[in-house]
Amino acid sequence: MIDPTFLDQLKKLNFLARRKISSIYMGSRRSIKQGRGMELYDHREYYPGDDFRYIDWKLYSRTERLYIRRFEEEKNLTLHILVDSSASMDFSTVKMRKFDYAGSIAAGFAFIALNRYEKFAPVLYSNRIMEIMPPRKGKMHFFRMINLLNGAKQIGETNLEECMSQYSGFIKTKSFLIVISDFLEPIDSLREGIYRIARRSKEAILIQTLDPGEINLKWTDDINFEDMETSKFERVYLSPDFRKNYMNRLREHIFNIQEICDDTGIEFFSVSTDIPLFDTFAGIVEGKILEERVRWGMETT
């Protein structure tokens, strides 16, 4: 369930003063431009040098004078929030499941959009797009999103490439994409999915949510692991060498995602679900997230 305490905490955060958010959300301001836009605003008299394609000939037929059509162009971005609802997101060794943590972060960004009167579109995905709410504004849309997250089932495997291939057709306007997942899938699929995100968005953020148990392998000795997405079991002895190899592979996977995001100009954050939710969200908003790399054995040099 989405933590209601976290939603109360969000009200105390002065988002309008955050430079990061101000640069992404331009607000519901409009500018008047000649040419094609969102909707007709008014007319003005034609001047030599104006583009004749925007002359309103119907108005000319009534007035015998040349006028240019002017349109309102919205300056705001549409926020698309994609939350991974695959089976692996049902995992937890601490208070919150990965999905609940991810869903709360998603609700946080929707709360920002709500207060800035921006459109936002919540989406659930796994190996396909599972649920879509069309971009809308307002409190009722926000509450429907909370209900969607609270009622979501975590099923299937993750395939970001396939989901972005499906979802690209729903992105019609200038967009800001946020994707929240554990991103525990083959790097090739992630790479193609991230490239699609970069092509279809003006701004984008990827947020990886990992449970501390899967980061640190909290278990000892002989363990029978279940793959939550395929339901396959594998018995493993957690020797020191196994732990070291696991940590190296996890570190390499995260750094590969970071490298792809750097290459495409997308921001990437990797967070642990044992960190207080508000601290994580505020850090992401400010662009100052304190990743637990030292604790995970992922020191950067």
The enclosing domain of 116 has a CATH number of 3.40.50.410
Residue 27, pLDDT score: 39
The alpha carbon of 103 is separated from its chain's Cα centroid by a whole number of angstroms, namely 11
Q: 3-class SS at 64?
A: coil
Contacts of 299 (CB under 8 A, 6+ apart): 293
Number of domains in the chain: 2
Judge if 138 and 179 occupy the same domain: yes
pLDDT band of 144, cuts 50, 70, 90: very high
pLDDT band of 21, cuts 50, 70, 90: very low
Judge if 83 and 212 occupy the same domain: yes
Residue 168, pLDDT score: 87
The alpha carbon of 108 is separated from its chain's Cα centroid by a whole number of angstroms, namely 11
pLDDT band of 110, cuts 50, 70, 90: very high
How far apart CA 77 and CA 202 sit, in angstroms, is 8
Judge if 35 and 113 occupy the same domain: no
8 Å CB contact between 252 and 258: no
Cα torsion angle, 115, 116, 121, 126, sign: negative
Average pLDDT (23-49) is: 51
297 inside domain: no
pLDDT band of 242, cuts 50, 70, 90: confident
13 inside domain: yes
300 inside domain: no
pLDDT band of 171, cuts 50, 70, 90: confident
Residue 185, pLDDT score: 93
Judge if 155 and 272 occupy the same domain: yes
Judge if 129 and 193 occupy the same domain: yes
Q: How far is CA 300 from CA 224, 247, 254, 274, 296, in A?
A: 32, 14, 12, 22, 11
Residue 220, pLDDT score: 63
62-93 pLDDT, tens digit per residue, is 888 888 776 544 456 789 999 999 999 998 88
**Which tokens sit at 178?**
């946020």
Judge if 44 and 115 occupy the same domain: no
Domain extent at residue 53 = 30-74
Judge if 63 and 90 occupy the same domain: no
